[in-house]
Amino acid sequence: MTVRSVFILLSVSFLALSACEEKRESQIHPYMAKTQPRFYMNGQIEHLKKDNKVVERIILIGDAGNVSEEPLTLDLMKNISKRLNSLDTKETIVFLGDNIYPTGFQGEDLKCGNDSTDAKNLEAQLYISKTTLNPSYFIPGNHDWDYHGKPDIKLIEKQKRYLEICGRESKLVPVLDNKPSLVSVLDETRYTMVFMDSHAIMTSSTELQQQAYKMLEAVFTLADATKPVIIVSHHPLATHGPHGGCYQQDYFGHSIINFFRKHGFSWGQDINAKEYAAFISHMNAIIPEKNRVILASGHDHGLQVLSLEKGADFQIVSGGGSHTDPVCIGEDTLFAQETMGHVEIGFREHGEITVEAFAYRPESKGLGKVYLQRIF
C-alpha cells in the first residue's frame, strides 16, 4: 500500500469515527440553565433591581484586539461606552487579554494613535476609558506574547508603555515595582482582585511558577474573608468553547485537526494540553472552598457563566470583544451564547453580587441584556 493510500485510509477512518461521535451544538441564541444557583429566581432579581441598586461594577471585556480584522469591534466599544455613560455607578474596566492580535506589539512606534495595527487595536479598547473616564486594566493573553514566536518580554513592555502614555488611567497588569510580573493584587473596598499572566505562568520555569502560586496562596491567607476574591486570568480554568472541546461542525463531523485536538493531541492553548492542565490543577488546589471566588477570563470567543464544583465558585468567560467561536454547554453551564459582547459583575447596595451578560446585535448595532443572576 502506498503512502498516499495509507493517508487516505486514515483520513476516511478519522472522519467516519468523528461522524459517529455525539455532536455538540453551539448556542447561537442565549442559553440559560433551568436550575440556577441558590436564591437566584427572576422575581427576586427584579426585587433587587428596584430596591437594592447596583453601586459598583466591574466590566469584563476579552479578546478585543482584532479591530483590523473585525471593524464591528470599535462599534461594540462605543456601545459599551454609551451604556456606562448612562449609569450612575462606579465602574472599573478589565480587558482579559489578547489585546493585540495576532502577534502582540511588534512595532516600535509608541506615538499615540499612529497607523500601526498595534495602536489601532489598543485605541479601540482605550475608547471606553477615555470617553467614560473610568480606570482600565489590561492583562496579557497568549497572542500578546506572540505564542507562536520566541517569547519576548519586550512585546509586553511596549504594550504597557503605550497604555501608560496614551490611555487614561490605563495599566497593563500584573505588575510589581512597575515591571511586568506574573501576579499582582488590587485591594478594593468591595472586593480583592488578583491579576495573573496565565500564559507567562504556563511557559515559565518551575521556580517562577511556584513563586506565582505562593503569591496566590498568600492572597487567600491575608484576604478579608468578607470580600469576594476575583481572579483575572486570560486562560479560564473551565470552558465549553473551542479550547474546551466545542468545535465548528461540518457534514462529516469534526475536521481531522479537531479530531486530534479532541483526543489529546493538542497544543498548549487547549485545556487538555499538558501545561494548561497543570495550571488548572495547581489553581484548583490553591483556591480554598471557604472563600467566595470568581474567575474572570477570555480566551474562548463568546460569553459563558459556569458554576464550579472545585476551587472557585464561578467561572466567567467573556471573550466576545472582537469575534465569535462556537460555545457549547456542559453540566456546569449557567449561561452561554456564541456572540460578541461582554459581562459585568455588579455590587449592590446591601452586599449582594450579580452577573449580567450583554450581547452585541450587529443588525441594530446595539447591546441587549441576555442574562442577569445573583451569585452571592
* Model confidence at 18: pLDDT above 90: no
Measured CA to CA, the distance from residue 152 to residue 104 in angstroms comes to 10
Helix ranges restricted to H, the chain: 3-20, 42-51, 72-85, 117-132, 153-166, 198-203, 206-222, 256-262, 274-286
Which residues, other chains included, contact 63 with Cβ-Cβ below 8 Å and sequence gap of 6+? 96, 97, 98, 141, 298, 299, 301, 319, 320, 321, 322, 323
pLDDT greater than 60 at residue 102: yes
**Rg value, the chain, Cα:** 21
Q: What is the pLDDT of residue 11?
A: 54
pLDDT band for 93, please (50, 70, 90 cuts). Answer: very high
Q: How many residues are recorded in the chain?
A: 376
Cis (ω within 30 of 0) for the bond into 236? no
The model's pLDDT over 211-241, given as tens digits with 9 standing for 90+, comes to 999 999 999 999 888 899 999 999 999 999 9
CA distances for 330 relative to 92, 182, 248, 306, angstroms: 30, 30, 16, 9
What does the pLDDT read at residue 6? 46
CA 306, CA 213: separation in Å to the nearest integer?
23
C-alpha 170/C-alpha 250 separation (Å) is 42
pLDDT exceeds cutoff 60 at 132: yes
SS3 20: helix
Query: What would you measure as the largest C-alpha separation in the chain, in angstroms?
Result: 75
pTM of the model: 0.90
Segment 336-344 shows an average pLDDT of 98
Cell for 130?
477615555
Distance of CA 329 to the CA centre of its chain: 17
Whether 129 has a pLDDT exceeding 50, the answer reads yes
More confident residue, 5 or 66: 66
